[in-house]
Amino acid sequence: MIDSTVVDLSRLQFAATAMYHFIFVPLTLGLSWILVVAESMYVLTGKPIYRDMTQFWGKLFGINFALGVTTGITMEFQFGTNWAYYSHYVGDIFGAPLAIEGLLAFFLESTMFGLFFFGWKRLSKCGHLAVTALMALGTNLSAVLILIANAWMQDPVGSAFNPVTMRMELTDFAALVFNPIAQSKFVHTVAAGYVTGALFVLGISAWYLLEGRHVEFARRSFRVAAAFGLVGTLLVIVLGDESGYAVAQSQNSKLAAMEAAWETEPAPASLNLVAWPNEEKQANDWAISVPFAGGIISTRSISQAIPGIREIREKNKERVASGIQAVIALEEMRANPDDPAARERFGRHEADLGYGLLVRRYVDDVRQATPDIIEKSATDSVPKVAPLFWSFRVMVGLGGLMFLLFAAAIRVSGRNACRRHPRLMKIFLWSLPAPWIASMCGWFLAEYGRQPWTVYGMLPTHLSASSLSSASLWGSIAGFAGFYTLLLIVEMYLMFKYARLGPAAPQPNDV
């Protein structure tokens, strides 16, 4: 048994580095396609202002891209250093999309990145536009391959456990790639990136308009960002609904926690708009609900019930007890591979193997699991409710706010009335952090909601970590915190510096 402190510190380190890395990812995703739009307009119209837009926003894209690559590399190494058993257990599956991402998407993205900056005088207009489009494509390919790997952790399709090697093995690559969770997660995530890039451009353009600088440049950038962002928010909303449906099909414990659904209601279930979850009482102290909405949205039917937390825990108690038999049979098979009784018993209980491993958080020998330990393990199988409930609502609330912001931006940009609404311009500027906060809430919802599993239903988190010391983890966390803080200071300094400078070419300040 690995010390729980080591597991918690390993989770803290990976969460901190992942969240920090994701500061840069959505902006890279969003700005890449805004560059394609701006340069396409330059190629079609021949107007230098669109070239200036491409080069200026490309400069900020380049700064962000460099920091994203730097912070992303360390995450790859953490799988081997902090999560050694996880890497051993799922390496055949998890490693495949990551290897493809490194060999194909990252190299495509990086090569085109270099040509984008150094090819302006060496390539034709159409040739350079093709480079920009391929750079954006590489960025999105990187995202889809990483999200395929993450989606498998959420729903381990196309794979099977091998009792001889004690590892998960890939059985269907197509199922891995076309995992429904991967598809909805990819479009939802990249659309959130598009919104981030659009609000970034919108906010800085609004700042220029407030100050009366680079007015024509800002107007055109503002108009492009408003249209791009409105489409992006619509995609986020639609695919967010699709992601919720996928979660309802594969992770009912996450859905119940994020909706604070303690009891199973008759179909279709109500939707808790706002509530105050009480973990100790396993009930909500109060709630404002919309009848029938939860069941219709989550299941797309009026007859399918959504299991509540109490029911899920009761069913999982049975799965834990069944999983204990699978663990015992597996141990007997490893001691005597020719034991037919052990093989037969393992086959009957194999689907619950992961649930049997949950008890190893409390006892090393599963035979010593008492009813109280089984109860605790079943309780562990559902994540804490309040963090998921509120992170989901913050994410959705910010998504609705950004939709309204882009709709307002479309309205004022269509009338060329941006400078006549200084208060609205200030709102756009001060709303810049909104997409990052929403994205962080979304990732927290996805990853914390998967607990207590690294591979949902298969491998518990407490069995996945490396055998490290708390002291070494504290040291590496401190090192990462210091180094990443320095990188963040550099990023913010460069972003502010070049945003203040504005486009290189002087722009007319037309009213």
Range of the domain at 284: 261-299
137 and 282 both lie in a single domain? no
Q: Which two tokens stand for residue 3?
A: 């010390």
Q: Cα(368)–Cα(184) distance, rounded to whole angstroms?
A: 42
Q: Classify residue 409: in a domain, yes or no.
A: no
pLDDT value of residue 510: 38
29 and 172 both lie in a single domain? yes
39 and 166 both lie in a single domain? yes
Which residue, 299, 328, 356, sits at the end of a domain?
299
Q: Classify residue 230: in a domain, yes or no.
A: no
CB atoms near residue 504 (< 10 Å): 10
Q: Classify residue 412: in a domain, yes or no.
A: no
CB atoms near residue 304 (< 10 Å): 14
Which residue, 239, 273, 299, sits at the end of a domain?
299
Q: Cα(226)–Cα(347) distance, rounded to whole angstroms?
A: 56
Q: Cα(27)–Cα(139) distance, rounded to whole angstroms?
A: 11
- Bridge partners (DSSP) listed for residue 460: 453
Q: Classify residue 59: in a domain, yes or no.
A: yes
274 and 347 both lie in a single domain? no
Q: Classify residue 133: in a domain, yes or no.
A: yes
Q: Classify residue 98: in a domain, yes or no.
A: yes
CA Rg value for the chain: 25
Q: Which two tokens stand for residue 306?
A: 């959504």
112 and 51 both lie in a single domain? yes
160 and 282 both lie in a single domain? no
At residue 357, the 3 state secondary structure works out as: helix
The total domain count for the chain is 3
Q: Which two tokens stand for residue 353?
A: 């193997």
363 and 269 both lie in a single domain? no
314 and 354 both lie in a single domain? yes
Type and span of the H or E element at 30: helix 25-45
Cα angle value 237/241/245 (rounded, 5°):
165
DSSP label of 269 = P
Is the Cβ–Cβ distance between 2 and 463 less than 8 Å? yes
At residue 374, the 3 state secondary structure works out as: helix
295 and 320 both lie in a single domain? no
71 and 104 both lie in a single domain? yes
370 and 278 both lie in a single domain? no
pLDDT value of residue 508: 47
SS (H, E, C) 56-121: HHHHHHHHHHHHHHHHHHHHHHHHHHCCHHHHHHHHHHHHHHHHHHHHHHHHHHHHHHHHHHHCCC
Smallest Cα–Cα separation from 247: which of 300, 310, 314, 322? Answer: 300
CB atoms near residue 394 (< 10 Å): 17
φ, ψ of residue 160 to 5 degrees: the values are: -150, 150
Query: pLDDT tens track of the chain, all 511 residues?
Result: 567 889 999 999 999 888 888 889 899 999 999 999 999 999 999 899 999 999 999 999 999 888 888 888 888 788 888 898 998 898 888 888 888 887 777 788 888 888 999 988 889 999 999 999 999 998 888 888 888 988 899 999 889 999 888 899 999 999 988 988 888 888 888 899 999 999 999 999 999 988 888 888 989 999 999 999 999 999 888 877 777 777 777 888 888 888 888 888 888 888 888 889 888 888 888 888 888 887 787 777 788 888 889 999 999 999 999 999 999 999 999 888 888 898 999 999 999 999 999 999 999 888 998 999 999 999 999 999 999 999 999 999 999 999 999 999 998 887 677 777 888 889 999 999 999 999 999 999 989 989 899 999 999 999 998 888 889 999 999 998 898 889 889 888 999 889 888 886 555 443 3
160 and 288 both lie in a single domain? no
pLDDT value of residue 281: 87
**Residue 390: what residue type?**
W
Q: Classify residue 453: in a domain, yes or no.
A: no
**Residue 274: what residue type?**
V
Report the DSSP pairing between strands 459-460 and 167-170.
unpaired
Q: Classify residue 274: in a domain, yes or no.
A: yes
Which residue, 299, 328, 363, sits at the end of a domain?
299
- Which residue, chain included where needed, has tokens 């701006």? 38
